[in-house]
Protein backbone atom coordinates (compact mmCIF):
# COMPACT_ATOMS: atom_id res chain seq x y z
CA UNK A 1 0.00 0.00 0.00
CA UNK A 2 2.87 2.35 0.76
CA UNK A 3 5.20 1.23 -2.03
CA UNK A 4 5.28 4.73 -3.51
CA UNK A 5 6.35 6.35 -0.26
CA UNK A 6 10.04 6.27 -1.10
CA UNK A 7 12.73 8.52 0.31
CA UNK A 8 12.77 10.50 -2.97
CA UNK A 9 8.98 11.02 -3.03
CA UNK A 10 8.89 12.13 0.59
CA UNK A 11 11.84 14.47 0.16
CA UNK A 12 10.22 16.04 -2.90
CA UNK A 13 7.02 16.75 -0.95
CA UNK A 14 8.96 18.25 1.92
CA UNK A 15 10.90 20.51 -0.45
CA UNK A 16 7.69 21.57 -2.19
CA UNK A 17 6.27 22.54 1.20
CA UNK A 18 9.35 24.65 2.04
CA UNK A 19 9.42 28.42 1.29
CA UNK A 20 9.92 29.15 -2.39
CA UNK A 21 12.63 31.75 -1.80
CA UNK A 22 15.21 29.39 -0.25
CA UNK A 23 17.81 27.28 -2.00
CA UNK A 24 16.52 23.70 -2.53
CA UNK A 25 19.14 22.44 -4.95
CA UNK A 26 20.96 19.18 -4.31
CA UNK A 27 23.67 19.83 -1.74
CA UNK A 28 21.88 22.85 -0.30
CA UNK A 29 21.39 23.24 3.44
CA UNK A 30 17.64 22.70 3.07
CA UNK A 31 18.02 19.47 1.10
CA UNK A 32 20.73 18.14 3.43
CA UNK A 33 18.60 18.84 6.51
CA UNK A 34 15.45 17.23 5.10
CA UNK A 35 17.11 14.12 3.59
CA UNK A 36 17.67 12.22 6.89
CA UNK A 37 14.06 12.83 7.92
CA UNK A 38 12.78 11.57 4.57
CA UNK A 39 14.82 8.39 4.97
CA UNK A 40 13.32 7.74 8.42
CA UNK A 41 9.80 8.43 7.18
CA UNK A 42 10.29 6.00 4.26
CA UNK A 43 11.32 3.31 6.74
CA UNK A 44 8.26 4.10 8.83
CA UNK A 45 6.03 3.51 5.80
CA UNK A 46 7.75 0.13 5.27
CA UNK A 47 6.92 -0.72 8.89
CA UNK A 48 3.31 0.36 8.34
CA UNK A 49 3.07 -2.09 5.42
CA UNK A 50 4.27 -4.85 7.74
CA UNK A 51 1.77 -3.80 10.40
CA UNK A 52 -1.07 -4.04 7.90
CA UNK A 53 0.07 -7.49 6.77
CA UNK A 54 0.32 -8.73 10.36
CA UNK A 55 -3.10 -7.34 11.21
CA UNK A 56 -5.05 -9.48 8.72
CA UNK A 57 -5.06 -13.22 9.32
CA UNK A 58 -4.36 -14.40 5.71
CA UNK A 59 -1.14 -12.35 5.60
CA UNK A 60 -0.22 -12.55 9.26
CA UNK A 61 2.62 -14.65 10.65
CA UNK A 62 4.35 -15.84 13.80
CA UNK A 63 3.21 -14.37 17.09
CA UNK A 64 0.87 -11.96 15.29
CA UNK A 65 -1.07 -14.84 13.73
CA UNK A 66 -1.20 -16.47 17.17
CA UNK A 67 -2.64 -13.22 18.59
CA UNK A 68 -5.33 -13.18 15.90
CA UNK A 69 -6.13 -16.84 16.57
CA UNK A 70 -6.35 -16.13 20.29
CA UNK A 71 -9.31 -13.85 19.57
CA UNK A 72 -11.25 -17.04 18.86
CA UNK A 73 -9.70 -18.95 21.73
CA UNK A 74 -7.36 -20.86 19.41
CA UNK A 75 -3.78 -21.66 20.37
CA UNK A 76 -1.05 -23.24 18.27
CA UNK A 77 -1.01 -27.01 18.87
CA UNK A 78 2.27 -28.16 20.44
CA UNK A 79 4.52 -30.92 19.13
CA UNK A 80 3.72 -34.43 20.40
CA UNK A 81 6.05 -37.34 21.22
CA UNK A 82 5.58 -40.66 19.46
CA UNK A 83 4.74 -43.79 21.46
CA UNK A 84 5.70 -47.41 20.86
CA UNK A 85 7.46 -50.32 22.51
CA UNK A 86 11.09 -51.41 22.74
CA UNK A 87 12.09 -55.07 23.02
CA UNK A 88 15.32 -55.79 24.94
CA UNK A 89 17.02 -59.17 24.55
CA UNK A 90 19.77 -60.45 26.82
CA UNK A 91 20.60 -62.47 29.95
CA UNK A 92 17.67 -63.38 32.19
CA UNK A 93 17.42 -61.07 35.19
CA UNK A 94 19.04 -58.07 33.52
CA UNK A 95 17.37 -54.91 34.85
CA UNK A 96 16.37 -52.32 32.27
CA UNK A 97 16.22 -49.01 34.20
CA UNK A 98 13.67 -46.30 33.57
CA UNK A 99 15.22 -43.70 31.30
CA UNK A 100 17.08 -46.25 29.16
CA UNK A 101 17.82 -44.63 25.79
CA UNK A 102 17.85 -46.29 22.36
CA UNK A 103 18.11 -44.76 18.91
CA UNK A 104 17.77 -45.38 15.20
CA UNK A 105 21.50 -44.78 14.66
CA UNK A 106 22.84 -43.20 11.50
CA UNK A 107 24.01 -39.63 10.96
CA UNK A 108 20.78 -38.10 12.28
CA UNK A 109 19.49 -40.52 14.93
CA UNK A 110 16.14 -40.27 16.67
CA UNK A 111 16.21 -41.17 20.37
CA UNK A 112 13.64 -43.07 22.43
CA UNK A 113 13.35 -43.38 26.21
CA UNK A 114 11.68 -45.93 28.48
CA UNK A 115 9.48 -44.70 31.34
CA UNK A 116 9.51 -47.66 33.77
CA UNK A 117 11.91 -50.21 35.26
CA UNK A 118 11.65 -53.73 33.84
CA UNK A 119 13.61 -56.99 33.93
CA UNK A 120 14.54 -59.42 31.15
CA UNK A 121 12.53 -62.62 31.55
CA UNK A 122 12.85 -65.60 29.21
CA UNK A 123 15.53 -63.88 27.18
CA UNK A 124 13.64 -60.71 26.31
CA UNK A 125 11.25 -58.09 27.62
CA UNK A 126 9.11 -55.45 25.93
CA UNK A 127 8.46 -52.06 27.50
CA UNK A 128 6.58 -48.92 26.44
CA UNK A 129 8.77 -46.02 25.32
CA UNK A 130 8.43 -42.54 23.89
CA UNK A 131 10.54 -40.45 21.56
CA UNK A 132 12.94 -38.23 23.48
CA UNK A 133 11.96 -35.16 21.47
CA UNK A 134 8.47 -34.29 20.32
CA UNK A 135 7.82 -34.26 16.60
CA UNK A 136 6.94 -36.35 13.57
CA UNK A 137 10.55 -37.56 13.33
CA UNK A 138 9.70 -39.98 16.15
CA UNK A 139 7.31 -41.91 13.90
CA UNK A 140 9.60 -44.76 12.82
CA UNK A 141 8.83 -48.14 11.32
CA UNK A 142 9.33 -51.51 12.98
CA UNK A 143 12.94 -52.59 13.25
CA UNK A 144 14.27 -49.05 12.83
CA UNK A 145 15.55 -48.81 16.43
CA UNK A 146 18.65 -50.92 16.93
CA UNK A 147 21.21 -48.85 18.84
CA UNK A 148 21.44 -48.88 22.65
CA UNK A 149 23.05 -46.15 24.72
CA UNK A 150 24.34 -46.27 28.29
CA UNK A 151 25.59 -48.97 30.63
CA UNK A 152 23.68 -51.79 28.95
CA UNK A 153 25.66 -51.59 25.70
CA UNK A 154 27.14 -55.03 25.05
CA UNK A 155 24.82 -56.66 27.58
CA UNK A 156 21.47 -56.53 25.79
CA UNK A 157 20.26 -55.67 22.29
CA UNK A 158 17.24 -53.58 21.39
CA UNK A 159 14.69 -53.40 18.59
CA UNK A 160 11.11 -52.30 18.03
CA UNK A 161 8.67 -54.94 16.86
CA UNK A 162 5.95 -52.35 16.18
CA UNK A 163 5.88 -48.91 14.61
CA UNK A 164 6.31 -45.86 16.79
CA UNK A 165 3.37 -43.60 16.02
CA UNK A 166 1.50 -40.55 17.25
CA UNK A 167 4.36 -38.07 16.98
CA UNK A 168 3.45 -34.69 15.51
CA UNK A 169 5.32 -31.47 14.79
CA UNK A 170 4.21 -28.16 16.24
CA UNK A 171 1.24 -26.86 14.29
CA UNK A 172 2.36 -24.99 11.20
CA UNK A 173 1.26 -21.45 10.41
CA UNK A 174 -0.74 -22.76 7.43
CA UNK A 175 -2.62 -25.22 9.66
CA UNK A 176 -3.25 -22.62 12.35
CA UNK A 177 -4.53 -20.17 9.74
CA UNK A 178 -6.82 -22.86 8.31
CA UNK A 179 -8.32 -23.48 11.77
CA UNK A 180 -8.73 -19.74 12.31
CA UNK A 181 -10.53 -19.28 8.98
CA UNK A 182 -12.72 -22.31 9.65
CA UNK A 183 -13.71 -20.91 13.04
CA UNK A 184 -14.52 -17.55 11.44
CA UNK A 185 -16.33 -18.89 8.37
CA UNK A 186 -18.12 -21.96 9.75
CA UNK A 187 -19.91 -20.82 12.89
CA UNK A 188 -20.12 -23.46 15.61
CA UNK A 189 -22.95 -23.31 18.13
CA UNK A 190 -24.84 -25.62 20.48
CA UNK A 191 -22.92 -28.74 19.50
CA UNK A 192 -23.58 -28.61 15.77
CA UNK A 193 -21.39 -30.57 13.31
CA UNK A 194 -19.03 -27.63 12.84
CA UNK A 195 -18.35 -27.49 16.56
CA UNK A 196 -17.52 -31.20 16.84
CA UNK A 197 -15.11 -30.81 13.94
CA UNK A 198 -13.46 -27.80 15.56
CA UNK A 199 -13.12 -29.63 18.88
CA UNK A 200 -11.40 -32.51 17.09
CA UNK A 201 -8.99 -30.18 15.27
CA UNK A 202 -7.89 -28.60 18.55
CA UNK A 203 -6.20 -31.87 19.57
CA UNK A 204 -2.47 -32.11 18.73
CA UNK A 205 -1.80 -34.61 15.97
CA UNK A 206 -5.29 -34.35 14.44
CA UNK A 207 -5.37 -32.58 11.06
CA UNK A 208 -8.86 -33.35 9.78
CA UNK A 209 -12.19 -34.76 10.93
CA UNK A 210 -15.54 -35.75 9.46
CA UNK A 211 -18.65 -35.50 11.60
CA UNK A 212 -21.74 -37.69 11.14
CA UNK A 213 -24.71 -36.32 13.11
CA UNK A 214 -27.48 -38.76 14.09
CA UNK A 215 -25.44 -41.60 12.60
CA UNK A 216 -27.03 -44.24 14.86
CA UNK A 217 -30.25 -42.56 15.85
CA UNK A 218 -31.23 -39.42 17.71
CA UNK A 219 -28.59 -37.91 19.97
CA UNK A 220 -25.69 -39.85 18.42
CA UNK A 221 -22.63 -38.33 16.77
CA UNK A 222 -19.66 -40.03 15.10
CA UNK A 223 -16.35 -38.24 14.53
CA UNK A 224 -13.78 -39.82 12.19
CA UNK A 225 -10.21 -38.53 12.46
CA UNK A 226 -7.08 -38.12 10.35
CA UNK A 227 -3.58 -37.36 11.61
CA UNK A 228 -1.06 -34.87 10.24
CA UNK A 229 0.08 -37.41 7.62
CA UNK A 230 -3.51 -37.91 6.41
CA UNK A 231 -3.63 -41.45 7.77
CA UNK A 232 -5.43 -43.02 10.73
CA UNK A 233 -4.21 -41.40 13.98
CA UNK A 234 -2.39 -43.36 16.67
CA UNK A 235 -4.72 -44.85 19.31
CA UNK A 236 -3.36 -42.39 21.88
CA UNK A 237 -4.40 -39.44 19.70
CA UNK A 238 -7.88 -40.93 19.16
CA UNK A 239 -8.25 -41.45 22.91
CA UNK A 240 -7.15 -37.87 23.61
CA UNK A 241 -9.56 -36.49 21.02
CA UNK A 242 -12.43 -38.56 22.43
CA UNK A 243 -11.71 -37.36 25.96
CA UNK A 244 -11.51 -33.73 24.87
CA UNK A 245 -14.74 -33.88 22.86
CA UNK A 246 -16.43 -35.65 25.78
CA UNK A 247 -15.45 -32.75 28.05
CA UNK A 248 -16.93 -30.20 25.63
CA UNK A 249 -20.02 -31.86 24.15
CA UNK A 250 -23.60 -30.92 25.07
CA UNK A 251 -25.33 -32.95 27.77
CA UNK A 252 -27.21 -35.93 26.36
CA UNK A 253 -25.14 -36.56 23.26
CA UNK A 254 -23.61 -40.00 22.67
CA UNK A 255 -20.34 -39.51 20.81
CA UNK A 256 -18.20 -42.11 19.03
CA UNK A 257 -14.69 -41.03 18.05
CA UNK A 258 -12.61 -43.28 15.79
CA UNK A 259 -9.69 -43.08 13.39
CA UNK A 260 -10.34 -43.36 9.68
CA UNK A 261 -10.20 -46.89 8.25
CA UNK A 262 -7.04 -47.21 6.17
CA UNK A 263 -7.32 -48.70 2.68
CA UNK A 264 -3.87 -49.78 1.40
CA UNK A 265 -3.09 -48.83 -2.19
CA UNK A 266 -0.62 -51.34 -3.64
CA UNK A 267 1.26 -50.30 -6.76
CA UNK A 268 3.15 -52.62 -9.11
CA UNK A 269 4.89 -51.25 -12.20
CA UNK A 270 7.38 -52.39 -14.84
CA UNK A 271 9.48 -49.36 -15.81
CA UNK A 272 12.05 -48.36 -18.40
CA UNK A 273 14.74 -46.27 -16.71
CA UNK A 274 17.04 -43.57 -17.99
CA UNK A 275 20.78 -44.46 -18.09
CA UNK A 276 22.30 -44.36 -14.63
CA UNK A 277 18.99 -44.62 -12.76
CA UNK A 278 18.41 -47.39 -10.24
CA UNK A 279 15.33 -49.31 -9.14
CA UNK A 280 15.68 -48.35 -5.41
CA UNK A 281 15.98 -44.67 -6.33
CA UNK A 282 12.87 -44.77 -8.52
CA UNK A 283 10.91 -46.83 -6.00
CA UNK A 284 11.55 -44.21 -3.29
CA UNK A 285 10.36 -41.43 -5.61
CA UNK A 286 7.23 -43.39 -6.56
CA UNK A 287 6.44 -43.98 -2.89
CA UNK A 288 6.84 -40.28 -2.12
CA UNK A 289 4.78 -39.19 -5.12
CA UNK A 290 1.91 -41.63 -4.58
CA UNK A 291 1.84 -40.84 -0.85
CA UNK A 292 1.50 -37.13 -1.62
CA UNK A 293 -1.27 -37.84 -4.15
CA UNK A 294 -3.21 -39.98 -1.68
CA UNK A 295 -2.80 -37.40 1.09
CA UNK A 296 -4.46 -34.83 -1.16
CA UNK A 297 -7.48 -37.12 -1.60
CA UNK A 298 -8.10 -37.70 2.10
CA UNK A 299 -11.68 -36.79 3.06
CA UNK A 300 -12.05 -34.74 -0.15
CA UNK A 301 -12.11 -37.17 -3.10
CA UNK A 302 -13.22 -40.82 -2.75
CA UNK A 303 -11.67 -41.95 -6.04
CA UNK A 304 -8.07 -43.14 -6.43
CA UNK A 305 -7.55 -42.79 -10.17
CA UNK A 306 -5.30 -45.21 -12.05
CA UNK A 307 -4.42 -42.43 -14.50
CA UNK A 308 -3.26 -40.12 -11.70
CA UNK A 309 -1.00 -42.83 -10.31
CA UNK A 310 0.44 -43.36 -13.81
CA UNK A 311 1.05 -39.61 -14.09
CA UNK A 312 2.94 -39.64 -10.80
CA UNK A 313 5.23 -42.36 -12.18
CA UNK A 314 5.76 -40.69 -15.56
CA UNK A 315 6.57 -37.37 -13.88
CA UNK A 316 9.61 -38.94 -12.21
CA UNK A 317 12.63 -37.83 -14.31
CA UNK A 318 14.51 -41.19 -14.27
CA UNK A 319 11.41 -43.00 -15.62
CA UNK A 320 11.38 -43.06 -19.42
CA UNK A 321 8.21 -45.16 -19.71
CA UNK A 322 6.36 -48.06 -18.13
CA UNK A 323 4.91 -51.22 -19.64
CA UNK A 324 2.60 -52.53 -16.96
CA UNK A 325 0.96 -50.74 -14.04
CA UNK A 326 -1.52 -52.21 -11.62
CA UNK A 327 -3.17 -50.54 -8.65
CA UNK A 328 -4.47 -53.06 -6.12
CA UNK A 329 -3.99 -55.73 -8.75
CA UNK A 330 -5.95 -54.06 -11.54
CA UNK A 331 -6.15 -51.10 -13.89
CA UNK A 332 -9.40 -49.63 -12.60
CA UNK A 333 -10.04 -46.73 -10.27
CA UNK A 334 -10.35 -47.55 -6.57
CA UNK A 335 -13.39 -46.23 -4.70
CA UNK A 336 -12.69 -45.33 -1.07
CA UNK A 337 -15.67 -45.77 1.23
CA UNK A 338 -16.93 -42.86 3.33
CA UNK A 339 -15.01 -42.68 6.59
CA UNK A 340 -11.99 -44.43 5.09
CA UNK A 341 -8.71 -43.07 3.76
CA UNK A 342 -6.39 -44.34 1.04
CA UNK A 343 -2.81 -44.90 2.25
CA UNK A 344 0.28 -46.21 0.51
CA UNK A 345 0.60 -49.96 0.69
CA UNK A 346 3.33 -51.89 -1.11
CA UNK A 347 5.24 -50.57 -4.11
CA UNK A 348 6.81 -53.11 -6.45
CA UNK A 349 9.09 -51.79 -9.19
CA UNK A 350 10.70 -54.02 -11.81
Q: What share of the chain in percent tops pLDDT 90? A: 86
Q: What is the mean pLDDT of residues 81-100?
A: 96
Interatomic CA distance for residues 84 and 80, integer angstroms:
13
Q: What is the mean pLDDT of residues 280-289?
A: 95
CATH 3.30.300 matches 188-259? yes
**Average pLDDT taken over every residue of the chain:** 94
Answer left, alpha or beta for residue 306, where phi above 0 means left and psi between -120 and 50 means alpha. Answer: alpha
Q: What is the mean pLDDT of residues 107-113?
A: 95
- Produce one character per residue of 79-92: b if its CB has 16 or more CB atoms within 10 Å, e if not: bbbbbbebbbebee
pLDDT at 319 over 90: yes
- Three-class secondary structure of residue 314 per DSSP: helix
What pLDDT score was predicted for residue 144?
96
What pLDDT score was predicted for residue 284?
95
Q: What is the mean pLDDT of residues 53-73?
A: 93
> What's the whole-model pTM score?
0.74
Residue 160 near residue 84, CB atoms below 8 Å: yes
What pLDDT score was predicted for residue 176?
96
pLDDT digits over 235-267, tens only? 999 999 999 999 999 988 899 999 999 999 999
- Three-class secondary structure of residue 45 per DSSP: helix
Amino acid sequence: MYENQTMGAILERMLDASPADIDKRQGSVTTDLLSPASIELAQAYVALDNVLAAGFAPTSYGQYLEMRADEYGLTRKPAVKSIGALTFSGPVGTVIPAGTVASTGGSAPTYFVTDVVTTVIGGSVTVVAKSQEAGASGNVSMGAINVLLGDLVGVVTVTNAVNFDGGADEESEAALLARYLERARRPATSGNANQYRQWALEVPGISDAKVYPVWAGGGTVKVVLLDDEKTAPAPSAVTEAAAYIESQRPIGATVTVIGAIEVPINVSVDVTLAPGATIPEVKAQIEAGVSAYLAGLAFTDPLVRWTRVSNVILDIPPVVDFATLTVNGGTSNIVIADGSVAVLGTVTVT
